[in-house]
Structure formats: C-alpha cells, structure tokens
Amino acid sequence: MKEMVTVFLYGKEYQVPSDLTIMTAFEYAGYRLKRGCGCRHGFCGACATIYRIKGKNELKTCLACQTQVQDGMYVASLPFFPTDKRDYSLEELRPDAQVMMELYPEIYSCIGCNACTKACTQGLNVMQYIAYAQRGDFERCAKESFDCVGCNSCSSRCPAGISHANVGLLARRLTARYIAKESGHLKDRIEEINHGEYDELIEQVMGKSIEEMQELYNNRDIEK
C-alpha cells in the first residue's frame, strides 16, 4: 500500500497518496479541475497555489502541477489573480525612459522587500527585473524575466500592488520590437514556411505515432 498523508484542500481534510502532486491530489480527492489546470508541466502558470504546513507560519507559493504534497499541507489555489494590465499599442510606444512611468508607475513605489522574488514559482529574481524596468534597461529586464509563466504569485505578495509579470512582458515586447537585432535566419525560415516548403514534412510528422514522435524528438539535430 502507498504511504498516505493528510492534506487540507480549501480547509477540508483528505487522505491522499504521498507521491501525488498538489494537482493530482485535488483530482484524487474528487475535485474536477475546470480552472487552475493547464499544461500540467510547469509552463503555463495556470495552477498558482498557496499553502502552509500545519504548525508553521510561513505562507508559500508554488505551481500545483510541480509540487508534491506534504503531510499537514493546507492548500488553496489561485487560478486567477487580478493584476492590472494596461492597454497599449506596441507600434505607438518607444523604448524610452518614460514608457514605464506612463504605463506602470507603481513600479517606482517598490519598497525593496523582495517578497516578489521569494514568491516566484520559477525562482526568478523578480525584484531585480523590476529594478531594470525602473532604470529603463528593457533588454536586461527582458532577459531576467524571460522564463516568467505569468502565474502572478509575485503580485499576490506585493505591498506596492505591482503587476510584475505585465511589466516583464512589456519589456520583452519592447526589446523584441525595437532593441534586439533582427534574425535573418528566422525571417528566411518564415518565408520558407509561407511558401509551403515544409507542408509535405508536416504531413509526414502528423501521421506518426506518439512513440515515433518521441524518438524523432530525442534524436533531433540541435542547432548550435
């Protein structure tokens, strides 16, 4: 028999196998996940979760699909967190020092508490990329925030009300549109795709089994 642990999902006690993730523990307990469940592999940020271990004061954040249950775990999911995403047209913006002040002025209210970094489910240095945004260093902000999945756990802990993921997204868009060097290789490949040069290959791939696809993926030539 599998080892069982006691978890509290939305305050209700359940006994679940100890090798489950929080997400699969919800399903084991009978919950049908209509929200807060996306890719199941840590890429989409849909399953942001907060939890506390019984007898400990620290409130922790995680992705439910990536975190194993623990005995005495009190769990609540954050399938949606109301961050403040501003409307803008990228074509009307320029990567100057004023753009963040106009769109996300709250970043200048950061008190340096580092709660955002501690809450990040991806282990990103969130406070650092906000500091880059404050200085108008969008390229470094884009690089530091590149792996953000937009779960918004950072914003849930921020006393200044900063929408960190949206700030990072804007920096990445500005960098891609105005700062990063255009990739001639990518442009050529897009033209080849639009001209149908890969249609036959795509049809062949679509007809393969999952096992054959895995074999192709594991033995692919990786561009240096």
Domain extents for the chain?
A: 4-77, 90-179
Q: Specify the amino acid at residue 36.
A: G
* pLDDT score of 185 more than 60: yes
| Confidence band for 224, pLDDT divided at 50, 70 and 90 | low
What pLDDT, on a 0 to 100 scale, did the predictor assign at position 13?
Answer: 97
What pLDDT, on a 0 to 100 scale, did the predictor assign at position 41?
Answer: 87
What pLDDT, on a 0 to 100 scale, did the predictor assign at position 1?
Answer: 60
Tokens standing for residue 41: 């592999």
Q: Specify the amino acid at residue 55.
A: G
> What integer is the mean pLDDT of 15-21?
97
What pLDDT, on a 0 to 100 scale, did the predictor assign at position 220?
Answer: 84
What is the rounded distance in angstroms from the CA atom of residue 64 to the CA atom of residue 68?
A: 8
* pLDDT score of 137 more than 80: yes
Other CB atoms within a 10 A radius of the CB of residue 126 amount to 29
Give this prediction's pTM: 0.80
Fold held by 4-77: Ubiquitin-like (UB roll) (3.10.20)
What pLDDT, on a 0 to 100 scale, did the predictor assign at position 81?
Answer: 87
